[in-house]
Amino acid sequence: MTVKGNDLDFGYTLDLPGGPLCFSTAEWAPSEAYMSQNYESPIHTDQLYAPYAMNWVTLHAIMDPEQCQLHGGRSSGGNYVDVSLKVVVKCATDTVMSMQPCFQHGTTLARDGVCRQGTAINFSRHIKQAFDEAIAIEGDVKAMIQQHRSQLQAWQQQRNPRQHQKRNKKIMKNQSCKILLIIRRIRNGGDGPEVEVFSNVTEDDYVYVLDAIGCDDKLIRKPSYIPSLHQIVATLPCPIHESILVPLRTAMGIIVESLAIPDDFEVSLPIHMGRMVDAPATAELPPQMRLRTRDADIRPYWPFEVSVSQTAEGAVTKLQKFGNQNEHVLAATHINIAESRMHASPTYEWGVEKELDRRGVQMGELTRSEDGALASHSHTWYHPVTVTITTWIRPPNRRLNLNSRHHAYYASAVLYPNQSEQALAKVQNMFQRTLERVRDTVVDHLETEHADDDTLLDSLQAMRDWSPPRELLDWNKCSKELRAAMKQTGFNRYRSWHRSFLKRVADESEVSGSRSGPSKRGRVS
């Protein structure tokens, strides 16, 4: 693990999911580090070149209080112990400790009914230096590695089957705990960061999570699976997503109204395009244009997907999977909102609280820099963003292929900040062709269903003659709404941080006041 993009002369920062972890007094970033997850080890010491290592408890949850038997003040276990210093740290979720690896240390056993996961971060010499030293040793390094693997396999085969079974049960338990944690965090509503990332997740785990949250009618986070990274990314809806979906749905709704299907056919062409998560049962379904037949059969024709930087791959994967599973899909559109940097809230040591003086900031005070970033009081609340719209049409007699870049079936354009009129014109043209495909497909379906009713089929002539408008969306209007939505998103981030800051100040004042005498708790806006 190296510190990407570190160009500071002094200190370094690690970008963790819960926010940045700053080492401002370090002389420079360590050369390399390695991370060990969910391993077990007796009391030991680590002979490292660095004087300190880190231990990050990613999960410490009591899943079954009765099984834990915590009566009488008993500990749930799974705590960090420094034997040399005779110190026990009672761990909780998101506890981060810095320790001296040369001292004897380890963890206590967690009680039954407790789910615990952690990550050890140790700083090492350059891997290349270690490899060069290995090459200098007499003999072939590759042969040494193969010999080591053979010895390891032989040792694993000789292991006690009961131990092997016990280890597998422990792995399954840890995986189950992790899935339960993911479900709980996704159901956590608007609390927590805008984007939460869960790693080491299989596609089967993702399907299980979707099934579990499918009955939750209060779900507002949108989960997305990134196959190449084995990650679930859960995002909160924000004004930018709405600024894209609302005008798109409005425009498509007007167009569908103009494509007048006679009432006698008892079919409809609704636009399913709500918020980021439209309904609990459709968490895995993208917004779409679809045909609902008189037999209540649903035929999806044109799915849309809006993604943020972290979920772009997941969005394309979802669209491709949706197209593979639905033979009626004619086209797909992906709108990606890529912020140049992941947003991080100000750290407590940052000093912005002095600049704010607890008075708060109005949305009009957010200033826009030349590159499009939105900032106030020395902190950037929304980084420059690029919005790209990409659309595909299914080739005749073939499946939809989102890897295709053939000019006849693919178009992509930057919608914001620097519009390309020529590229956007190609996207508009692709939209028109898609709507023509939808028209022809609906007409063909109705002609087949009512082949014996000439009078009814004659009423389709207006549909056959219908043409989509030359301009479906006003790109300039979209850009204007995007700018307003970005400012609102930046202000929402500031407001969330400011409320948390005021609550922390009030809590600290209350604790301080309880030690010295009675006090009033500050009101949090």
Encode the chain (525 residues) as per-residue pLDDT tens digits.
Answer: 344 455 555 566 666 666 666 666 665 555 566 677 766 667 888 777 677 888 888 888 777 777 777 656 677 778 888 888 888 888 888 888 888 888 888 888 877 777 778 888 776 665 556 556 555 654 554 554 455 455 545 545 555 566 556 555 555 555 667 777 777 777 765 556 667 777 778 888 888 887 777 655 556 677 778 777 777 877 766 677 667 767 777 787 788 788 878 888 777 777 655 433 333 334 445 666 766 665 567 788 888 888 876 678 888 888 898 889 888 899 999 988 888 777 777 764 445 555 555 455 555 555 666 556 666 656 777 777 888 999 999 998 888 999 989 999 999 999 888 888 899 999 999 999 999 999 999 889 888 888 888 888 888 888 889 998 888 888 888 888 888 888 787 777 777 777 777 776 676 666 556 555 544 333 333
**What is the pLDDT at residue 361?**
57
105/187 Cα distance (integer angstroms): 36
Phi-psi region at 20: left, alpha or beta (left = phi > 0; alpha = psi -120 to 50)? beta
Q: Name the H helices within 407-474.
A: 421-449, 454-458, 461-465
pLDDT of 413: 93
Q: How far is CA 462 from the centre of its chain?
A: 45
What would the two tokens of residue 49 be? 């070149």
Q: Which two tokens stand for residue 374?
A: 């939105």
- In angstroms, the CA 16 to CA 6 distance is 15
Q: Determine the Cα–Cα distance for residues 434 and 424; give it in Å rounded to an integer.
A: 15
Residue 133 has a pLDDT of 59
Q: Give dist(CA 114, CA 101) in Å, integer.
A: 26
The interaxial angle of helices 161-186 and 203-213, nearest 10 deg, is: 50
pLDDT of residue 494: 78
Residues 6+ apart with CB under 8 A from 200: 37, 178, 230
Residue 377's φ and ψ, nearest 5 degrees, are 50, 50
Residue type, 119: T
Check residue 44 and report its DSSP letter. Answer: B
Q: Which one-letter DSSP state was computed for residue 268?
A: B
Q: Are 415 and 387 in contact (CB under 8 A)?
A: yes
Cβ contacts of residue 282 below 8 Å, gap of 6+? 272
User: ∠ CA(225), CA(227), CA(231), 5° rounding?
Assistant: 55
Q: What is the pLDDT of residue 420?
A: 83
Task: Give the phi and the psi of residue 363 in degrees, each rounded to 5.
Answer: -60, -35
Who contacts 354 (Cβ-Cβ below 8 Å, separation ≥6)? Answer: none
For residue 438, give the nearest of 269, 273, 274 by alpha carbon: 269
